[in-house]
């Protein structure tokens, strides 16, 4: 029998130990990353989440699962998403992490091949069921209607618990990695690549409009199209006009006309914890004409090389599997595919 308790306080040694043993912690797919660095990242995220929940218990909560012997068997976080709720006009929430033990990733360098997956699945499944149920009960109390969660592709106990609880798969993402030793050199094409300027904003927003039709917000039929569009408009506007430290938006220009844009940033959290420079790529879009793919290729190639020049060892980009033209262009630059993730949505009522 699994017992569930709402926990308020600082991160404990047993929570930290379970977080350390979790196979699918943030950046688990970067094989070169030292375990202590990845452990530090996940512990810090949990500690910050707990601190936020202590200050605003109506906005987030943390649940712990225990087995019959009282030992910790899992934990999860759950939160109300104020920004999504305001833009979508739908009370929205998220399960940002849900950890059960033991996890199983066949052939993993960290987990090892010694424990058959079926032996880890049996005890983990009821823990996942109980944690998901606790999270959904809390979200219902807060009036949340729309909930999302992203998992690794092999988190089967959690994935099956989500399906049992009424979640449906909405997005399948692939993360591609470029390494500084293998990245092709940037070759100037027919496009001039420069940084975003304020005068570009109207054109950038126009290019963004209608560019994302195969993402999870547009694919979910219960989210109005106009609200999904507004979400992406605000996202790129914020990145362009109010960037974080070491975040940039590139512009591709041809014959004086803006043909596309590309956002990327330095992953400070990962880089400082592991000593490995990492950059990530976010929203990008190009005009929808015969020049489109060339503009995107130029932007991506420039960003990869600029990331290396800025001290990056790796650069990563996540691509929804359904966007085949972008996927094919990404392959042309010779990345390694490091992980596959799944996103689930659930609607109450």
In a domain, 347, yes or no: no
Q: Please give the Cα distance from 308 to 178 (Å, whole number).
A: 10
Q: What is the mean pLDDT of residues 89-117?
A: 71
Given this model, what pLDDT does residue 294 score?
Answer: 86
Do 160 and 269 lie in one domain? The reply is no
Contacts (Cβ under 8 Å, ≥6 apart) of 349:
145
Percent of the residues in the chain that have a pLDDT greater than 70, as a whole number: 94
In a domain, 349, yes or no: no
Q: Please give the Cα distance from 85 to 91 (Å, whole number).
A: 5
Do 19 and 132 lie in one domain? The reply is yes
Do 129 and 269 lie in one domain? The reply is no
Q: What SS3 class is residue 236?
A: helix
Q: pLDDT band for position 114 (50/70/90)?
A: low
Q: Please give the Cα distance from 95 to 161 (Å, whole number).
A: 13
Q: Which of 133, 166, 199 is the last residue of a domain?
A: 166
The domain in which residue 300 lies consists of 177-339
Do 190 and 247 lie in one domain? The reply is yes
Give the full edge-to-edge strand order of the sheet including 3-6. 3-6, 60-66, 72-80, 92-100, 146-152, 336-347, 168-179, 314-320, 278-286, 257-266, 247-254, 192-195
In a domain, 171, yes or no: no
Contacts (Cβ under 8 Å, ≥6 apart) of 116:
none
Do 141 and 201 lie in one domain? The reply is no
Q: Is there a contact between 100 and 126 (Cβ–Cβ < 8 Å)?
A: no
Do 217 and 272 lie in one domain? The reply is yes
Given this model, what pLDDT does residue 38 score?
Answer: 98
Q: Is the pLDDT higher at 116 or at 218? A: 218
Q: pLDDT band for position 57 (50/70/90)?
A: very high
Do 210 and 85 lie in one domain? The reply is no
Do 65 and 183 lie in one domain? The reply is no
Q: Is the pLDDT of residue 155 over 60?
A: yes
Q: Please give the Cα distance from 125 to 39 (Å, whole number).
A: 24
Do 132 and 207 lie in one domain? The reply is no
Q: Is there a contact between 262 and 303 (Cβ–Cβ < 8 Å)?
A: yes
Instruction: Return the beta strands (E) in 153-306 as ranges.
Output: 168-179, 192-195, 247-254, 257-266, 278-286
pLDDT tens digits along 170-181: 999 999 899 999
Q: What is the mean pLDDT of residues 72-98?
A: 97
In a domain, 183, yes or no: yes
Q: Which of 145, 166, 187 is the last residue of a domain?
A: 166
Do 19 and 104 lie in one domain? The reply is yes
pLDDT tens digits along 300-344: 999 999 999 999 999 999 988 777 777 777 777 788 878 899 999
**How does the average pLDDT of the chain come out, rounded?**
91
Q: Please give the Cα distance from 55 to 36 (Å, whole number).
A: 29
311: left (phi over 0), alpha (psi -120 to 50) or beta: left
Given this model, what pLDDT does residue 111 score?
Answer: 44
CATH number of the structural domain spanning residue 102 = 3.40.630.30
Do 161 and 181 lie in one domain? The reply is no
Q: Please give the Cα distance from 292 to 79 (Å, whole number).
A: 38
On the question of a cis peptide bond just before residue 102, with omega within 30 degrees of 0, the verdict is yes
Provide the domain count of the chain.
Answer: 2
Q: Please give the Cα distance from 149 to 339 (Å, whole number).
A: 17
Q: Is there a contact between 217 and 84 (Cβ–Cβ < 8 Å)?
A: no
Give me the count of residues in the chain: 349
Do 150 and 250 lie in one domain? The reply is no
């Amino acid at each position: 029998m699994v017992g569930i308790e709402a926990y308020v306080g600082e991160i404990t040694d047993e929570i930290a130990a379970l977080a350390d043993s979790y196979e699918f912690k943030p950046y688990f797919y970067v094989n070169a990353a030292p375990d202590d660095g990845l452990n530090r990242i996940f512990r810090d995220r949990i500690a910050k989440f707990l601190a936020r929940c202590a200050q605003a218990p109506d906005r987030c909560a943390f649940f712990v699962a225990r087995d019959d012997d009282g030992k910790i068997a899992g934990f999860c976080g759950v939160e109300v998403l104020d920004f999504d709720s305001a833009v979508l006009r739908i009370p929205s929430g998220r399960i940002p992490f849900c950890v059960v033990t033991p996890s199983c990733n066949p052939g993993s360098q960290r987990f090892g091949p010694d424990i058959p997956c079926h032996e880890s699945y049996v005890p983990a499944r009821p823990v996942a069921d109980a944690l998901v149920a606790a999270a959904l009960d809390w979200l219902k109390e807060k009036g949340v209607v729309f909930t999302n969660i992203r998992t690794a592709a092999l988190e089967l106990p959690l994935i099956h618990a989500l399906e049992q609880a009424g979640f449906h798969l909405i997005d399948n993402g692939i993360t591609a990695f470029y390494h500084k030793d293998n990245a092709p050199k940037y070759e100037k094409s027919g496009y001039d690549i420069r940084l975003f300027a304020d005068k570009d904003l109207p054109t950038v927003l126009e290019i963004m409009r209608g560019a994302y039709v195969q993402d999870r917000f547009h694919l979910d039929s219960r989210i109005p199209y106009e609200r999904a569009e507004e979400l992406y408009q605000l996202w790129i506007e914020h990145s362009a006009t109010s960037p974080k430290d070491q975040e940039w938006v590139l512009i591709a220009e041809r014959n004086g006309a803006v043909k596309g844009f590309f956002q990327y940033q330095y992953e400070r959290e990962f880089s400082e914890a592991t000593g490995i420079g990492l950059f990530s790529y976010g929203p990008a879009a190009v005009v929808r004409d015969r020049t489109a793919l060339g503009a995107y290729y130029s932007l991506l190639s420039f960003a990869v090389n600029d990331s290396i020049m800025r001290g990056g060892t790796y650069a990563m980009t996540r691509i929804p599997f359904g966007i085949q033209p972008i996927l094919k262009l990404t392959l042309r630059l010779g990345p390694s595919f490091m992980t596959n993730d799944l996103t689930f949505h659930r609607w109450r009522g």
